[in-house]
Amino acid sequence: MINFNYETAFKLKDEERLSAWISGVIDVEGFKEDEVNYIFCDDDYLHKINVEFLKHDTLTDIISFDYSVGKIIQGDVFISVDRVKDNAEDFKVSFDEELRRVMVHGVLHYCGYKDKSDEEASLMREKENHYLKAFV
């Protein structure tokens, strides 16, 4: 089950469509969906989580906590709407496209994709682009 939670005034436009898309990504990647919680927040909220849990005193667009067991996907994906907005402007893409990229990025981590090395980041970007094109 895909759940959407809001810790800021932001609200998704089409929860059902986004939920079906994320569920499809999980299925195509060969995993089973249990519970994935997306928590939309602002920079301050996510910064506190970053400092407290990861000991990183920086702003970020996404933090994901993976509780998956084997092929059963579970986790919490925190997304700063402020960062997504700024990144969309920086990358010259729409807010909605950047938001979908970050959303699929989080669930791809749960499917085993990493982004620490250049090679891993390149594969992650390919997967993101593939699934962004599949969003209908």
Tell me what pLDDT residue 40 has. 98
| Domain ranges, residue 66 | 2-134
- Phi-psi bin for 55: left (phi > 0), alpha (psi -120 to 50), beta? left
Tell me what pLDDT residue 102 has. 97
Each residue of 75-116: pLDDT tens digit? Answer: 999 999 999 999 999 999 999 999 999 999 999 999 999 999
Distance CA(41)–CA(22), nearest Å, equals 19
* Block residue for tokens 């898309």: 21
In a 13 Å sphere around the CA of 5, the CA atoms on its Cβ side amount to 12
DSSP H or E segment with residue 110: helix 95-110
105 annotated ligand binder: yes
For the CA atoms of the chain, what is the radius of gyration? Answer: 14
Of 8, 79, 66, residue with least CA distance to 36: 66
Tell me what pLDDT residue 97 has. 96
pLDDT tops 70 at residue 44? yes
Other beta carbons within 10 angstroms of residue 97's beta carbon come to: 14
Other beta carbons within 10 angstroms of residue 136's beta carbon come to: 7
Instruction: Look at the chain and report how many structural domains it folds into.
Output: 1
109 annotated ligand binder: yes
CATH number of the domain within which 83 lies: 3.40.390.30
pLDDT tops 70 at residue 136? no
Each residue of 45-72: pLDDT tens digit? Answer: 999 999 999 899 999 999 999 999 999 9
Of 63, 74, 62, residue with least CA distance to 36: 74
118 annotated ligand binder: no
Each residue of 6-27: pLDDT tens digit? Answer: 999 999 999 999 999 999 999 9
